Amino acid sequence: MRTIFHLDMDAFFISVERILNPKLEFKPVIVGGDPHGRGVVAACSYEARKYGLHSGMPIRTAFKLCPKGIYLHGHYDEYNRYSHAAKTILSGYAPILEQASVDEFYIDFTGCEHLYGEYPTLALKLQKEMINKLFLPCSIGIGSNKTIAKIASDYKKPNGITYVPPGKEKQFLASLPIQVIPGVGKVMLKKLNEKGIYIISDITNMPKDFFSTVYGKSGNDLWEKANGNGAEYLTPSREQKSISHETTFLEDVNSLHNLEETLFGLCAKIAQSLKNMNWYASNIALKLRYSDFQTIIKSKSIRMTDDPLIIFNTSAGLLKNSYTRRVPIRLIGIKLTKFIIAAEQQFLFDDIQIRRGKALDAINLIRLKYGYKSIQFGIIKA
């Protein structure tokens, strides 16, 4: 029997914003941009949720429900920085660690009780370390598989710890609403409710064949999860195939100069992401979406780099070749692919590249200590 922890940051984006600006504490805060724009809610504080707000909600709807809320565009580079710091702390404890998203981690502590003591005590220690070192609250679920651990981490939010002992999985799940099961979305929920299925015990009291026949593979998976089963082994190394940043304009843009300025900022951010992961990229893709929703994607292979200037110059060339219609632009984005580990290829660089690389490394150290915005690049026009 395995022991899996699921550590989930509580309102992670909001927690980071409150670290950056303590005046936001105890106030309804919404990350998602201009409340009169076309975006959606990326995250909202527990104070904002009392008004009916939730992630994925159109930002304009959120503003109607909570007009006195504090609406922020968000500091996504800071979110990545704090996520990396959290992962570094957890890696010091965990023999096997899987990062499921920017704010959640699975940890396999099977057989580690003799090292750390009882599992709830270990969870409390992790919580305290996250608060003391990063000022980030989190909730932790402990179970015999990933499904149970994930459901348990959400059971006592915020700042909760829930341990489901081996053999008690079905008992723990029985009275919970079916929508807590990972994979049960709005469509599946409606279908199950129409058949009188509202809580998890409604599923376990029915034969597995019923769900397999009616819902196929997803029904079979649903029945297994309802009975306390799930994946027991983690995937510690997930290959990331791309990094992307994009911007949807509040008002459509028809100026090539303005598009280049926005692209320059995106290139600086995406280069910083490469630096943080110690990677080089050798393929750049530009994405343009016109106001009539026609979307164009063009890419180019380059010599491996993490240099923001090279990334910008390449993507700016793609922009000039792509922006061929007299129609305003709604969205612009950039994506990097084909990664290699930076340290493995340094010997291929000439002296100028090495010196520039050292300068970029120094900039990266400043940003890691003082934040991404502490030092910025500018566009130099001939």
Does residue 31 contact residue 72 with C-beta atoms inside 8 Å?
Answer: yes
Reduced DSSP (H G I as helix, E B as strand, rest coil) percent helix, strand, coil of the chain, to 5: 45, 25, 30
Residue among 232, 323, 242 nearest 281 (CA): 242
Q: Please tell me the total number of residues recorded for the chain in this structure.
A: 382
When mean pLDDT is compared across 3-12, 154-163, 166-175, 274-283, the lowest value belongs to 274-283
Checking if the pLDDT of 130 tops 90, the result is yes
Q: How many CA atoms lie within 13 A of 53 on its CB side?
A: 33
Banded model confidence at residue 39, pLDDT cuts 50, 70, 90? confident
258-308 pLDDT per residue, tens: 999 999 999 988 988 887 767 788 899 999 999 998 999 999 998 888 889
Tokens of 374: 């502490």
Residue among 216, 217, 307, 316 nearest 260 (CA): 316
Which CB contacts under 8 angstroms, 24+ apart, belong to 319-323?
A: 319/256, 319/259, 319/260, 319/263, 319/286, 319/288, 320/256, 322/286, 322/288, 322/296, 322/298, 323/256, 323/259, 323/288
- How far apart CA 201 and CA 181 sit, in angstroms, is 12
**What residue has token string 């009392």?**
50
Checking if the pLDDT of 152 tops 60, the result is yes
Does residue 30 contact residue 46 with C-beta atoms inside 8 Å?
Answer: no
Checking if the pLDDT of 22 tops 70, the result is yes
| pLDDT the model gives residue 376 | 57
Checking if the pLDDT of 344 tops 80, the result is no
Looking at residue 40, the DSSP 8-state letter turns out to be B
Instruction: Characterize the bridge pairing of strands 4-9 and 138-143.
Output: antiparallel
Banded model confidence at residue 373, pLDDT cuts 50, 70, 90? low
**Averaged pLDDT of the chain:** 87
Delineate the domains of the chain, giving CATH numbers in brackets. 1-165 (3.30.70.270), 170-226 (1.10.150.20), 242-374 (3.30.1490.100)
Checking if the pLDDT of 88 tops 50, the result is yes
224-246 pLDDT per residue, tens: 999 999 988 887 755 567 888 99
| pLDDT the model gives residue 101 | 85
Write the burial class of residue 291 (CB in 10 Å: 0-12 exposed, 13-18 middle, 19+ buried). middle
For the chain, how long is the longest CA-to-CA vector? 73
Mean pLDDT of 121-135: 96
Cα 139 to chain center, whole Å? 17
Checking if the pLDDT of 377 tops 90, the result is no
pTM greater than the 0.75 cutoff? no
| pLDDT the model gives residue 343 | 45
| pLDDT the model gives residue 382 | 40
Describe the strand order of the beta sheet including 96-101 as a list of residue ranges.
Answer: 96-101, 104-108, 4-9, 138-143, 161-163
> Catalytic residues, which ones?
104
| Kind plus residue range of the DSSP H or E element containing 295 | strand 295-305
